[in-house]
Amino acid sequence: MEEAIVLYPTPAIGHLISMVELAKLILTHHPSLTAHILIAPQPYNAGSTAPYIAAVSATTPSITFHNLPNVELPPTSSPNHETLTFELLRLNNPILHQSLLSISKGYAIHALIMDFFCSHALSIAADLNIPGYYFYTSGVGTLAYFLYLPTMHRNTTKSFKDLNTLLDIPGLPPIPSSDSPKPLLDRNDEAYKCFLDCSFSMAKSAGIIVNTFESLEPRVKKAISDGLCIRDGPTPPIFCVGPLIASSNKRDDPATPASCLRWLDLQPSQSVVFLCFGSLGLFSVEQLKEIAIGLERSGLRFLWVVRNPPTQDHSLAVKAQPEPDLDLSIRERILSMKSEAKAALCEGGSSFMALAKLSKSWKQ
């Protein structure tokens, strides 16, 4: 029987790309495997992922995408869209169960690798005796926050927005409680409860795969691995296998990061305004025009990551984001980190070795 891994991303494009890059990395080291990626429907309009999925399918035949059917979402009073994501993926559990059973008829599934928001899927993996791993698309700094969240929850009855104190999280500098992620500010909000449940669930997984490399965040990585962030049980293995970045072959495109950096090098220090609104920062044509007019009237140099306005198919641009102008010492540090990141992924590097440990763990 052929061998496979199943990956279960949050349906938003940013999470999907990271998960696909993880699949590509694993397949590079284990070409005998096939990767099956389960695509849940989007609980809100974050743009179509179909063009991206079609492009990957055409170039990487060892990755198979499975589009899961829609589920009906109940109404929610939470102001945070993350609540909808958690709820949709929870309701998807019966479909996930059936999909894994279907795939297992033709493949020996070594692991289910699920996104942070897919916390309810861990119980399905356990029921089917499949090792369940989390894939955390950010760095270990925020991972430490979430792993330590149950401890902070037990230590107070107040919401973070009302706590007015510094949060002392192992491996991190003190963080003002009011600077916590927006969905976690109110402990009575449904989103807070979802994130808290997810924190408990991650601690029970077979391991947590992180899109970072060890020399980028050594202090906090050590704090997690030493068991300082999970106080009521063992800490699962942490596999830093990054950085996972979607590559582009359009090197002559004037909008590539290299071209933007060359332009920035020619500008006076601290003279450029940088605008980037993230993966959900979609603006209408009218809004884009208003922003452009404001920038023009300001008279300032600017670097603006502009994405296509939403159309009928709500397609998304998936280009890498350029960097803003930086102080020379910071810039040198970034260039150094780029070299370290490349070394981490090479044979014998920390990410290379973490990936080897990951594959060894699911074969035990």
Q: Please work out, in degrees rounded to the nearest 5, the angle formed at the alpha carbon of residue 323 by the alpha carbons of 261 and 319.
A: 95
**Distance between CA 43 and CA 83 in Å, rounded?**
10
Q: What confidence score (pLDDT) does residue 324 get?
A: 40
Active site residue 115: yes
pTM beyond 0.95: the answer is no
Task: Pull the structure tokens for residue 63.
Answer: 């990755």
Is residue 189 flagged as an active site residue? no
Average pLDDT estimate for 265-271: 86
Residue 169 has pLDDT above 70, yes or no: yes
The structural architecture, per CATH, of the domain 2-247+341-361 is 3-Layer(aba) Sandwich (3.40)
Is a pLDDT exceeding 80 seen at residue 330? no
Question: What is the structure's pLDDT at 333?
Answer: 64
Cα–Cα nearest to 191, from 167, 164, 161 = 161
The pLDDT confidence band at residue 320, using thresholds 50, 70 and 90, is: very low
> Which pair of structure tokens corresponds to residue 114?
């699920």
> Among candidates 252, 247, 220, which has minimal Cα distance to 139?
220
d(CA 110, CA 131) in angstroms, rounded, equals 7
Task: Report the range of poorest mean pLDDT among 4-13, 24-33, 335-344.
Answer: 335-344
Per-residue pLDDT tens over the stretch 85-111:
888 889 999 999 999 999 999 999 999
- Active-site position among 15, 110, 120, 153: 15
* pLDDT beyond 80 at 254: no
Distance CA 287, CA 30 (A): 47
Tokens of 87: 């709820």
Name the pLDDT band for 338 (thresholds 50, 70, 90): confident
Q: How would you classify the pairing of strands 175-176 and 166-167?
A: antiparallel
Q: What is the spatial distance between Cα 343 and Cα 101, in angstroms, rounded to a whole number? A: 39
C-alpha 214/C-alpha 197 separation (Å) is: 27
- Helix axis angle for 350-363 and 328-345, nearest 10°, is 40
Tens-place pLDDT, residues 72-92 = 877 777 777 788 888 888 999
Tell me, letter by letter, the H, E, C secondary structure of the chain.
Answer: CEEEEEEECCCCHHHHHHHHHHHHHHHHHCCCCEEEEEECCCCCCCCECHHHHHHHHHHCCCEEEEECCCCCCCCCCCCCCHHHHHHHHHHCHHHHHHHHHHHHCCEEEEEEEEEHHHCCHHHHHHHCCCCEEEEECCCHHHHHHHHHHHHHHHCCCCCHHHHCCEECCCCCCCEEHHHCCHHHCCCCCHHHHHHHHHHHHHCCCCEEEECCCHHHCHHHHHHHHCCCCCCCCCCCCEEECCCCCCCCCCCCCCCCHHHHHHHHHCCCCCCEEEECCCCCCCCCHHHHHHHHHHHHHHCCEEEECCCCCCCCCCECCCCCCCCCCCCHHHHHHHHHHHHHHHHHHCCCCHHHHHHHHHHHHHHC
Marked catalytic residue, from 115, 120, 153, 325: 115
Of residues 308 and 346, which shows the higher confidence score?
346
For the stretch 190-244, pLDDT in tens is: 999 999 999 999 999 999 999 999 998 999 999 999 999 999 899 999 999 988 8
Phi-psi region of 82 (alpha: psi -120 to 50; beta: other; left: phi over 0): alpha
Give pLDDT, residue 23.
95
In the predicted model, is pLDDT for residue 145 greater than 70?
yes
Q: For the chain, what are the domain ranges?
A: 2-247+341-361, 259-311
How far is residue 84's CA from residue 76's CA, in Å, rounded to a whole number?
Answer: 8
Amino acid residing at 283: F
Asked whether residue 327 carries a pLDDT value surpassing 70, the answer given is no
